[in-house]
A and B are shown apart, each in its own frame.
Chain A
Amino acid sequence: MRMVLLTLAVLAGLGLTGAAAVVGFGLYNVSAHAGHWPGVSWVLHTTFRSAVKLRAPSMEEVPPLDDPDLIALGAGHYATACAMCHGAPGQPRSATIRAMVPEPPEIAEAVKDWQPNELHWIVQNGVKMSGMPGWPVTDRPDEVWSVVAWLMTVQGGTPSPVPQATYGEGYCRTCHGTVAGPVPRLDILGSDYIADQLAAYRSGLRPSGIMAQAMSMVPEDQDAELSAALSTRGAGDEPSGSGMADSRGSDLAAKGSRDVPACVACHGADASKGPRLAGQNEAYIADQLHLWRDGVLDHNKLMAAAAVELTDQEISDLAAYFSGR
């Protein structure tokens, strides 16, 4: 018995020494040219596939992905955040990217065989040790569906076009003013408000993976100029829609309830406290109200307190009312 233990201890000591030599003296060749030993790639890839299938959200959590605005937003984000490694329709991967180990698959190849819920998990979480990054913020899984929506068009064989790279104001306008739905209109907002939001996206105070990526593409000293250019408050002040004077939303917005403060006290035509909502895109208002209600957004304590008791129905009523004004 003593002999056995002694042998095991000596073997363990030799093993540790060997491991220390590999780590400390550089015995393992990390060269990308050297590639992996046979079988290692298969083990890593199979582990990746199994881990995604185990952890992906349920298919029931997948929202409708055929909304053209959602697809367009996803395409815009893909163009600036993902295309450099995975390429895009008509935009091949560079030779350098193709030399990565593991090589990032071309996008049509990457998305085949995956369900939308699994793609969501991959885009949200990224893949450790492969170079695939996770979403820039952790608490906005809702945003990730836009990219999944675009990926599904790729998987379907008719990829929706991806915008060309531009700079400055034109870069912002890739989505704002071009895409409706979940992307806010900026022309109805004040430049001071826009500047505050840009700063909040930069600092992470207002979490958004899409805007965090966008802000990292714009030099900070351009924020003031961009805010002024994107805001044309006053010019488009006329109600854009047909008006929904008698809707449930109008009543709640004007008077509030015992649980919900009156929106117009801060967001009305004469109010200066909050951003203007009349004419804002419906899906954007609804998304933001959900985020405030659920505590994901909390950078303004008044708005956080105002939204906390909203019901899903009230959120859709308010979004319909303000977008229709």
Chain B
Amino acid sequence: MLGGAVVLWLVVNGAFYYMSSVRPGAVDKRYARHILIGGGIILPVFVLTALLVWGLSILPDPRRPGDGLVVRVTGEQWWWRVEYWPEGADTPVVSANEIRLPVGQRTEIHLTSDKVIHSFWIPALGGKMDMFPGRDTMISLLPERAGTYRGQCAEFCGASHAWMAFAAVALEPAEFDAWLEAEAADAVAPQDEAAQRGQEVFLNEGCGACHAVRGTPAVGLVGPDLSHVGSRKTLGAGRSSMTLQNLEAWIAHTEDLKPEVKMPSYDLTGTDLADLAHYLNGLK
């Protein structure tokens, strides 16, 4: 991309420099006609036809059937409810706010929405696809290189539309399978005393009314599943990176960080807040 841009820049500016400084003045009529016909008609016809043929050939790609794995994504205000349905699965692996895909395999992403129209877009992997309440749409993606890409809601969906993003992580197939197995498991038990206290804060504050942490009494469905929240790259659907400090800020200042979000800012401070953040960060 950058190389092409540099070449174009050099050609255009070189031609301009040549015409204005090296050979100023009128040119031969026949020479001018060649330039016009060659550069204005023949060259664009060849280039654009080639591009059109190539473009039409890849146009059906996002609609091609996948190689087995289906990822079901529901747009919420303003986050992503994610379910992985490996081929033949009866129950999904429930996750949120991050899409992981195996490299070299085409994965079907089935899209729908809760209340308003959103649009699912990972620019590095493919085009946009709108998500409608009460209707299913599909886009299939084939990541070619492992890496982390940014995904973003591309349809205005309310106050925090700009903060509705996610990380798309392409993993080598073996790595992906291992990750999916871990994601399917229940949340790990608190690893130390602080995490234990953090879990108590989580349950006492009623967080489980909206959030599920599988393997604990927290079974809520309103907000993102937090069973493995600590293993995600981002926090608050792409709002910030997953660090202890950001977790504390998110819990105490949710409404400032994401205007009109359903989750209220929690009036927690000191050890309670630190332990809770520590517990969540430990849910790898």
* Chain A interface residues toward B at CB < 8 A: 254-263, 265-266, 270-274, 301-302, 305-306
Contacts and interface: CB of A to CB of B under 8 A. Distances in A.
Contacts of B262: 305
A308 to B, nearest CB: 8
A262 B208 contact: yes
Nearest to B207: A265
A263 B86 CA distance: 33
A258 B222 contact: yes
27 contacts: A255-B220, A255-B221, A256-B209, A256-B210, A256-B221, A256-B222, A257-B221, A257-B222, A258-B114, A258-B221, A259-B222, A260-B222, A261-B209, A261-B220, A262-B219, A262-B220, A263-B209, A265-B209, A265-B210, A265-B218, A265-B220, A266-B206, A270-B217, A271-B204, A273-B205, A274-B206, A305-B264
- Interface residues of B: mostly helix, strand, loop or mixed? loop
4 A-B pairs with least C-beta separation: A265-B209, A261-B209, A266-B206, A265-B208
Interface residues of B, number: 18
Contacts of B222: 256-261
B220 A272 contact: no
Contacts of B218: 265
A273 to B, nearest CB: 5
B204 A255 contact: no
Contacts of B114: 258
B219 A273 contact: no
Interface in B216-270: 217-222, 262-264
Interface in B180-218: 203-210, 217-218
Given A258-B114, A261-B220, 8 more contacts: A255-B221, A256-B210, A259-B222, A261-B210, A265-B206, A265-B207, A265-B208, A273-B205
B210 A273 contact: no
A265 B210 CA distance: 9
Contacts of B209: 256, 261-263, 265-266, 306
A266 B217 CA distance: 12
Contacts of A256: 209-210, 219-222
Contacts of B263: 305
B220 A271 contact: no
Contacts of A305: 262-264
Contacts of A274: 206
Contacts of B207: 265
Contacts of A270: 217
Given A258-B114, A302-B264, A305-B264, A271 B221 contact: no
Given A301-B264, A302-B264, A305-B264, A255 B206 contact: no
Given A258-B114, A301-B264, A305-B262, A273 B206 contact: yes
A301 B255 CA distance: 12
Contacts of A257: 221-222
A270 B203 CA distance: 10
A272 B208 CA distance: 13
A263 B203 CA distance: 13
Nearest to B210: A261
Contacts of A258: 114, 221-222
A258 B96 CA distance: 14
A262 B216 CA distance: 14
Interface string B8-38: 0000000000000000000000000000000
